Amino acid sequence: MVKEPTHAPLLSIVVPVYGVEAYLYQCLESIRADIPAGESDAVELIAVDDASPDGCGDMLRSYAAGRDQVRVVHLSSNVGLGLARNAGLDVATGRYVWFVDSDDWLPPGTIRAVLDRLRQHEPDVLMLDHLRVHEDGRREVDASSHLLGGVPGVTRLADQPQLLRVQHTAWNKVVRRDFLDELELRFFPGWYEDIPFSHPLLIGAEKISVLDRVCYLYRQGRQGAITSTRSGRHFDAFAQYERLMAWVARRHPDERLQAELFELMISHYLVVVGNDGRLHPHLRRAFFHRAAAHYRRYLPACGYPLPPGVAGLKHRLVGRGDWVAYSALRQAHRVAGRLRRPGPAGGVETGSTDGADTRAATADEDPSRGAVAATTRDGGLAPHRHDALAGGRLP
């Protein structure tokens, strides 16, 4: 039984939960404890137990006891991240919804800043900045973060097209609930579920607001995270991009937009195929040829903005379906990377490595850029230095 709130809140925060027993309390507390005094009716926290095999279900029952603003949905079988988000959305009563992953957490002051901006601008989509946090405490500014800077007031994608290149995840966007219904958007099953969800939000929005401050701490390197898991399920990306392209063709058939999305799609495929942490070697050739098939299928009639340098060369090789040349280029890039890597005594390291296209490997869900190392190991927030970001494309 899910408790119903007494008053409809402004914001529903949906947290899908699976296999995160070690991180769950930190996530929930970072939300609940951050709700400002006097704002308890403005925020509801909905945790969805996706039939987690560890102790998360019991933790959620205990955590929700006596806390009216915390609601728990227990699923009878595991459905995956996207469908678990849908289950939380189905019971959410807030005017806005924010999907927060259960192994991540919010820095102090986030909830007040988000509520203030929602009330001030009443946007369709509120975009947020984040930091990547590694297990050793090191924090990185995402190299797309600088694209959030200097966006005045309320805007549209047509006026700020660079926003399409901000990391395309659900958790860096707070969305008006009715707007989701207007766009007919829900999450699909499978990995890379953010692809057909995140881009349409920005494409369809009439009112986009940007909160240019760190509002989300994105955990890196967790065992079980899809971006560090070798699996054939990375092929799910193809079905997700097919859904995105079908939605765009149906709702916003604009050639320039299709060209931009096409470049992002091919760059994303190159991230996956070049990353040893995602694909077993025996799957890499098949993934490359699937990417080449999508290149031929979706290549815009008007062309598209080809990336410069080595990245552009890789795009051309995908377009030709030339696996042999791509493999040779990838191997040459790996060797060059090993030769450039400083050794332990400041010299040059010449030993072997399993890392391939290592900058691409850091890009996670963002296909066209990696992360730029920032600041601290002491648990404090890194300085928000947009001017230090290069924002270049991956080779």
Mean pLDDT of 7-34: 96
Pairing of strands 70-74, 43-49: parallel
Per-residue pLDDT tens over the stretch 228-244 = 678 999 999 999 999 99
Neighbour-count burial for 244-278, b at 16+ CB within 10 Å, e otherwise: bbebbeeeeeeeebbbbbbbbbbbbbbbbbbbbeb
Of the chain, the percentage scoring pLDDT greater than 90 comes to 74
Instruction: Give the per-residue pLDDT at 191.
Output: 95
From the CA atom positions of the chain, what is the Rg in Å?
Answer: 21
Q: Which residue has the higher pLDDT, 341 or 155?
A: 155
Is-contact 214 384, C-beta < 8 A? yes
Backbone phi, then psi, for 112, in 5-degree steps? -60, -45
Q: Which of 188, 154, 26, 174 is nearest to 92 (CA)?
A: 174
Under the banding of pLDDT at 50, 70 and 90, the label for residue 336 is: confident
What kind of architecture, by CATH, is found in domain 1-103?
Answer: Alpha-Beta Complex (3.90)
Share of the chain above pLDDT 70, in %: 82
Residues 6+ apart with CB under 8 A from 354: 276
Q: Number of H helices and number of E strands within the chain?
A: 12, 10
Which SS3 state, helix, strand or coil, does residue 99 take? Answer: strand
Cα 295 to Cα 318: distance, rounded to the nearest angstrom? 7
Both ends of the chain: CA-CA distance in Å? Answer: 51
Q: Which residues contact 117 (CB under 8 A, 6 or more apart)?
A: 123, 126, 209, 211
The β-bridge partners of 105 are: 217
- In this prediction, residue 361 carries a pLDDT of 34
Indicate whether 251 pLDDT > 90.
Answer: yes
The residue extents of the domains of the chain are 1-103, 227-370
Phi and psi torsions of 204, nearest 5°: -90, -10
Q: Which amino acid is at 3?
A: K
Rounded-to-integer distance, Cα 210 and Cα 192, Å: 24
Residue with tokens 């807030």: 94
pLDDT exceeds 70 at position 102: yes
pLDDT in tens, 157-194: 999 999 999 999 999 999 999 999 999 999 999 999 99
- Residue type for 89, please? L
pLDDT of 78 strictly over 70 = yes
pLDDT of residue 303: 93
Q: What's the gap between Cα 348 and its chain centre?
A: 35
pLDDT of residue 359: 32
